[in-house]
Structure 1
Amino acid sequence: MVEQEIERKIEDFRNLGIPKYIPRESRLQLVDNMVSTVIGARRVGKSFRVLQAADEMICHQVIKSIDQVCVMDFDNPVLSNMKATDLSLIQNTFLKLNPEFELNTPLLFILDEIHKVPGWEEYVVDLSRNPNWKVIVTGSSSKLLKYDIATELRGKAISSTVYPLSFVEFLKFREFRYKTSSTKGQAEARRMFDEYLKWGAYPAIVNLEEYTKEALLREYFDTMILKDIIQRYDVSKPQQCIHLYNYLLSNISKAHTLQSVFQYLKLGGFSTSRDAVRGYINWAEDSWLLFMVPIYSNSLKEQERNYKKIYAIDWALANKNSLIWDGSYSRALENMVFIHIYSRWHRVHYSLTRKKRQEVDFIAVDSNGHPVMALQVCIDISQEDTVKRELEAIVTTSKYFGIKENFIVTYNQEKDFYEQGISVKAIPAWKWMLNLA
């Protein structure tokens, strides 16, 4: 039965071919003799991005045709129940159906969600040992990150992450060619930005009707919770788990501690423990639903002692699955900025000034551990006291850490500030995101 399912998958892909796709900007790490792991949340476009890579390999004649591509999706009841010792059926069946292929024939194996099969790592390592074969593994668990799988894959893996659409990619999906040098072009870019802010960055919802978008955002949340958390971790109290995630999505960009989340559930009448709450939060992070952002500090104790700020993989997903929503997009804007920073630097923190404990929303940190950018997110800077507060925090922080790039990201206001020898640029979010690209 398993071999028949593998044959069916091979024939289906060959007959259907690579579906039409809109090219993504994200780069995949494809290195000879290494397993490429492509990770990210559900529905962010991992499968299409990998098929884009396959198409590009065919165009550049790394492989000659689609016949040399084997795609297996383990989000399938038959394949997900395979034993690790049976995984060799994949290449054996593929080679049997293609007797003209030899061991030196360039082939590409795409194994989607193979981590559902316990012990899969040894198989993909063996597969990648053939210098003519490339292996791409995709999954929606952050456990596929290089620092989690280095031991299991014996230093044979290199990771890439796919995120929801950047604003530049969103414009491409909307077939919008921006020319922000003109007043009309800027107005159109702002209109597109309003849509992006309201409905988020999932690729499949971009060109749908609004009522369908809302339904899909709820469906995405339900599927992520059910498959990536409740089923994966065999959660014993699913309603408690779901209620907590609804609560956390209602409070994106706000400060939380393990104790504050624990107290919320206790006050709500839920019987739980701090260890259970810690588990819920860890599972949400592992599944790319939530991000817990710590304070910037070289001391792990200080990071643990201070609160963390919470963000979602998609701000519209958070809004549509919140317990309450005040109708304001200020926190959605902050979440949007976070995702754009995180997708580029991967290490993002908030900061508190030493004396007054004033918060800077984001500190981007480079691969050497050095802070390179400070950002405040403020939807409206028309009030003098607001500007003063935001500037004081970012200038103090910038001077302390020696940061050269400092921004106040706004909804649609722009102004240059120079305080105490520090330059700070207030810039509309849509323009900042276009410049970031």
Structure 2
Amino acid sequence: TAPDWEPFVDRLMRTEKCEIYLTGSSAHMLSKEIATQMRGRALSWELFPFSFREFLDYKGIESEDARSTKKRLLTQKAFEEYWESGGFPEVVGLNRLLRIKILQEYFYTILFRDLIERHDVSHPKAVTDLAYWLVDNAAAHYSVNNLTGYLRSLGHKVPKATVADYLEWFEDAYFLFTVRMFDASLTRSNANPKKIYCIDHALVAATASGILVNAGHLLENLVFTALRRYYPENFNYKTKTGREVDFIVLLRAGERRLVQACESLVEPRTRKRETTALSEAMTELGLKSGTIVTRIEDEVIEIENGTIEVVPAWRFLLDPLESMG
């Protein structure tokens, strides 16, 4: 960052009729620290990789009527491209190998500039190994205890408190996000296993160590980023019988929405598992509707205690709130 930028910006704001845009998330100053410096005189906006609607706009596809019969096939085709490329603008339209190479460079840059250099990390290999594990396990549960044990199994003597710091730094850098279990008790919520998600599903696919990445986990990660962009307050939900719903979204005025992500409901056991979990959660929370986001399936399932709307990912991403009913 430029030295003494604060008094310079302060002088501009007092003497000139102008708008000033400041960006953060660098090795020197995060966006929330800029907001702190300019407290009371600034509005903060979170910037994410392209949403699907922004991706359509970038491609020159009119997003306002993207669901019309005339535009639907074009929109669905664009979603398949978005599924492969993700939302980082620089990689859109590139061939697969170059796209993967650039996304991998993003991964290393975030690790070394926004984390290791910024925080002067004394165990850089531990941070790198942890980041790889979390990306490999995007949309999976973790606890600080099991992460600490994993790092120790690799020979890293890192205490639990330091691992917790690493997780907080990942989130500060808008790289990896933690979602807690929904619970009226904050203590229990913090003690329960949590889930991890990445800022971009294509970044997961590009940097994960496995040859085949779990498509269901990628879809869940994609649903998370769509929700996180608009609704910071979303949690994982577990019913009294132990069944899991991927997201409970807390809206304004105390409203709640339930969202499940599942690549396909074609297999009968999968369909029963997903709908039963959602039905139980709806009953426990007094809700009459729930949503299951799939890759391509589109239907309405009437159940005894309400309605489950099954929506294809492309339609959900265009308007998450409308899709949640």
What residue number does 1:54 align with? none
Would the alpha carbon gap of residues 367 and 380 (structure 1) be closer, same or farther in structure 2, given more than 3 Å must change? same
What residue number does 2:92 align with? 206
Residue 59 of structure 2 aligns to which amino acid in structure 1?
Answer: R
What residue number does 2:52 align with? 167
Where do residues 8-87 of structure 1 align in structure 2 (5 Å cutoff)? 74=1, 79=2, 82=3, 84=4, 87=5
What residue number does 1:285 align with? 171
TM-superposed deviation, 1:256:
0.5
After superposition, the CA RMSD in angstroms is 2.3
TM-superposed deviation, 1:315:
0.9
Would the alpha carbon gap of residues 204 and 151 (structure 1) be closer, same or farther in structure 2, given more than 3 Å must change? closer
TM-superposed deviation, 1:126:
5.3
Where do residues 201-240 of structure 1 align in structure 2 (5 Å cutoff)? 201-240=87-126
Q: 1 CA distance for matches of 2:36 and 2:24?
A: 18
Q: 1 CA distance for matches of 2:258 and 2:211?
A: 28
Q: 1 CA distance for matches of 2:255 and 2:210?
A: 35
> Is the deviation greater in 250-259 or in 357-366?
357-366
What residue number does 2:242 align with? 357
Where do residues 13-412 of structure 1 align in structure 2 (5 Å cutoff)? 74=1, 79=2, 82=3, 84=4, 87=5, 120=6, 124-125=9-10, 127-130=12-15, 132-140=17-25, 144-145=31-32, 152-177=37-62, 179-182=66-69, 185-354=71-240, 356-368=241-253, 370-403=254-287, 405-412=289-296
Would the alpha carbon gap of residues 396 and 140 (structure 1) be closer, same or farther in structure 2, given more than 3 Å must change? same
Structure 1 residue matching 2:249: 3-state secondary structure:
strand
Q: Percent identity of the aligned residues?
A: 29
Residue 197 of structure 1 contacts residue 329 of structure 1 at CA under 8 Å; is this kept in 2?
no
Q: 2 CA distance for matches of 1:276 and 1:234?
A: 13
Q: 5+ unaligned residues in a row in structure 1: which ranges?
A: 1-73, 88-119
Structure 2 residue matching 1:139: 3-state secondary structure:
coil
Q: 2 CA distance for matches of 1:277 and 1:299?
A: 23
Structure 1 residue matching 2:43: 3-state secondary structure:
strand
Q: 2 CA distance for matches of 1:241 and 1:150?
A: 27
Would the alpha carbon gap of residues 267 and 363 (structure 1) be closer, same or farther in structure 2, given more than 3 Å must change? same
* TM superposition score normalised by structure 1: 0.67
1:419 equivalent in alignment to 2:306: no
TM-superposed deviation, 1:233:
0.5
Structure 2 residue matching 1:158: 3-state secondary structure:
coil
* Deviation readout 1:170-227 (Å, 9 max, x if unpaired): 1222233475443x74343332222211221101111222221111101111111111
Q: 1 CA distance for matches of 2:284 and 2:14?
A: 49
Would the alpha carbon gap of residues 316 and 420 (structure 1) be closer, same or farther in structure 2, given more than 3 Å must change? same
Q: 1 CA distance for matches of 2:68 and 2:139?
A: 33
* Deviation readout 1:133-180 (Å, 9 max, x if unpaired): 4332211169534xx777654433321111111111112222334754
Structure 2 residue matching 1:423: 3-state secondary structure:
strand
Residue 180 of structure 2 contacts residue 193 of structure 2 at CA under 8 Å; is this kept in 1?
yes
Structure 2 residue matching 1:161: 3-state secondary structure:
coil
Structure 2 residue matching 1:137: 3-state secondary structure:
coil
* TM superposition score normalised by structure 2: 0.89
Residue 415 of structure 1 aligns to which amino acid in structure 2?
Answer: E
**Structure whose CA Rg is larger:** 1
Structure 1 residue matching 2:302: 3-state secondary structure:
strand
TM-superposed deviation, 1:420:
2.4
TM-superposed deviation, 1:294:
0.5
Q: 2 CA distance for matches of 1:393 and 1:421?
A: 13
Paired residue total: 317
Residue 264 of structure 1 aligns to which amino acid in structure 2?
Answer: Y
TM-superposed deviation, 1:320:
1.2
> Is the deviation greater in 312-321 or in 324-333?
324-333
What residue number does 1:46 align with? none
